[in-house]
Copies of this chain bind each other. A is one copy, B any other.
Amino acid sequence: MSDTRGTVAAAVAPRPRVVVIGCGFGGLAAVRGLGSALEITVIDRANHHLFQPLLYQVATGGLSATAIASPIRYILRRHHNVRTLMAEVETIDAGQRQVLTDVGPVPYDYLVVAAGAGTWYFGNDEWPRHAAGLKTLDDALRIRNRVLQAFEAAEAEPGSDARGAKLSFAVVGAGPTGVELAGTLAEIARDTLRDEFRHIDTRHARIMLIEGGPRVLPTFSEAGSRAAQRQLERLGVEVMCAHRVIGIDADGLDLSDADGRPLRIDAGTVLWAAGVRANPLGATLGVPLDRGGRVIVEPDLSLPRHPEVFVIGDLAALPQHQPPVPGVAPAAKQMGRCAAGNIRASIEGRARRNFRYVDYGSLATIGRNAAVAERGSLRLAGWPAWAFWLFVHIFFLIGFRNRFVVMIDWAWSYLTFERFARIITGPLRKRGER
């Protein structure tokens, strides 16, 4: 702490201006770590911070969109040195030290880029139309609409073959998001919707989880993968590992198995949880990127030859860090705190610190009472892992009200098997359209 933080000193020398791009877990942690002595501008294209780990709950009608999102302005309302700007960043001009946005340029002395990653379809331009990704609130609401409309369309369908295809759901990618989506879809079909339809039996819905690699949850231990697959199959999910997707169209998917044999699957609804790619903003920095489009940073998270620019979260690559830093919320938060500390260190004339990821373990939920949790040699599965998952997620939710409301909603769902947020909004898909 130095005296330059006082208001008198600030009136004499202008306060350093820090711009933070993106207010996800990383950006928000950076803002909080920067303290009250600097002039901070947070730029985000959305007006809300999103609690992404629960996005699949919105996509499956378990939580309302507003339960997992808080206005950024509201979160930062008491940080009087922080200005929030809702804008689209077009490019970063590191030479002139300014960020160019659709509402004009924003100059900076220090910059933190926390723009995250988006859904990636491996370069297949047709696939996004047929397979919905899950990265934003709008994505989640689109998936919710598609899933609910699939059951509605099946109920209205006279032919039984067409009905079967409409009741087939394929989830591509068996990382935590894919596992959560598949498990929850199975629960919806089996329990939530059971009594609500007259022409179809929703329990006959087919839920497939398709993974290119040899096992589900590839970042977990083999025992964890096995436990997850067992729990998924108990819920009625068809797990198809070692199957690569080679085509997606309006009626289903074309797969290729481990021996290269083709396999066709009819599915009225395809959800995509297979690939992410760093925000293209990283490419405007003019420095080397890794294969995933991520910016290769120095050990202190700054840009080579631009010590005033930091890149954190899913947009940052630290090739020298072993083991590799995973693209998860705790890593983004830790990077945000590290970048903020290094900016303060530079201003206060102290030495910077290299980033070191502290691994608190991995968690994935599958459904009611079903989850896996791992930390080092500690492994949980089933009910204890699920309870732990619930506790951790509610604990880290932003804001007291959200925590409380989500808790009530979950208690309600748990007791009644009901998912209240099953509302179709927005433009409807016409018949025959995807």
| Distance in angstroms between the alpha carbons of A283 and B431 in the assembled complex | 25
Is A219 engaged at the interface, CB distance under 8 Å to the other chain? Answer: no
Chain B residues with CB below 8 A from A197, complex form: 73
Interface string of A190-206 (1 = CB under 8 A from B): 00010111110000000
**Further 6 A-B residue pairs, CB within 8 A, beyond A64-B65, A73-B193:** A74-B422, A78-B195, A86-B149, A401-B416, A402-B420, A405-B408
Of residues 378 through 434 on chain A, the ones whose CB sits less than 8 Å from some CB of chain B are: 399, 401-402, 404-405, 408-409, 412, 416, 418, 420-426, 431
Chain B residues with CB below 8 A from A420, complex form: 66, 70, 399, 401-402
Nearest residue (CB) in B for A422 is: B71
Is A10 engaged at the interface, CB distance under 8 Å to the other chain? Answer: no
Interface window among A151-159, A227-235, A307-315:
A151-159
Partner of A102, one of B102, B155, B423, B431: B431
| Distance in angstroms between the alpha carbons of A422 and B69 in the assembled complex | 9
What is the distance, in angstroms, from A417's C-beta to the closest C-beta of chain B?
11
Nearest residue (CB) in B for A78 is: B195
Contact status B77-A196, CB under 8 Å: yes
Chain A contact residue count (CB 8 A cutoff): 56
Contact status A152-B423, CB under 8 Å: no
Contact status A423-B66, CB under 8 Å: yes
Instruction: Write 20 A-B pairs (CB below 8 A) sorted by A numbering.
Output: A47-B148, A47-B423, A64-B64, A65-B423, A66-B421, A70-B420, A84-B155, A84-B198, A102-B431, A103-B156, A103-B431, A104-B158, A137-B423, A138-B426, A141-B425, A141-B426, A401-B412, A401-B416, A401-B420, A405-B408
| Distance in angstroms between the alpha carbons of A16 and B155 in the assembled complex | 22
